[in-house]
Copies of this chain bind each other. A is one copy, B any other.
Amino acid sequence: MTKINEIFKEHGIRLTQQRKEIFKILLNISQPVSANYIHNLLKNKLEKSRLSTVYRNLNTFKDLGIIKEVSSVNNNKKLYELSIGSNHHHHLICTKCGEMEPLDCPLEGYEDELKKKTDYKIIDHSINIYGICPDCINKTQKK
């Protein structure tokens, strides 16, 4: 059971149709997705939904810490994924096709170490490993 309503109530925001659907979409994906990707799926359920509102909700979720924004590098899009309910991880990204795979965090303990070295107040970190996925390696060889 997902407790969407509780999560929303806890943060003091309304449980609208659109938010419910966006949240469900985010629950069902394992990779970070773009606002546009979400909007496309959303249109099946809510014909009238607008991309601008998707952005607004994603920003709301982000401000509340429900989702995380990860930076895509190929194109200039913002990508989002749930930050709650999912364990801390990073991504292995194919620079050819953009495919992403989750990776365990290799920085256990590093943040603590860093806190001693710097005057910054450390909050979070992101790691991206870039490479070429097996599919793209195969495609290149066939040519």
A16-24, A27-35, A106-114 - interface stretch: A106-114
**A124 an interface residue at 8 Å Cβ cutoff?**
yes
Copies per complex of this chain: 2
Given contacts A76-B78, A120-B92, are A129 and B106 in contact (CB under 8 A)?
A: no
**A87 an interface residue at 8 Å Cβ cutoff?**
no
**A129 x B137 contact (CB < 8 A):** no
**A121 x B114 contact (CB < 8 A):** no
Q: Closest residue of chain B to A111, judged by CB?
A: B129
Task: Offer 30 A-B interface pairs, CB within 8 angstroms, sorted by A.
Answer: A71-B71, A73-B126, A76-B76, A76-B78, A92-B114, A92-B118, A95-B123, A101-B118, A101-B120, A103-B114, A106-B110, A114-B129, A118-B131, A119-B133, A120-B132, A120-B133, A120-B134, A121-B131, A122-B129, A122-B130, A122-B131, A123-B131, A123-B132, A124-B129, A124-B130, A124-B131, A125-B130, A126-B127, A126-B128, A127-B127
Interface of A is mostly: strand
- Complex partner residue of A73 from B71, B92, B101, B129, CB under 8 angstroms: B71
A55-77 contact mask (Cβ, 8 Å, vs B): 1 or 0: 00000000000000101110010
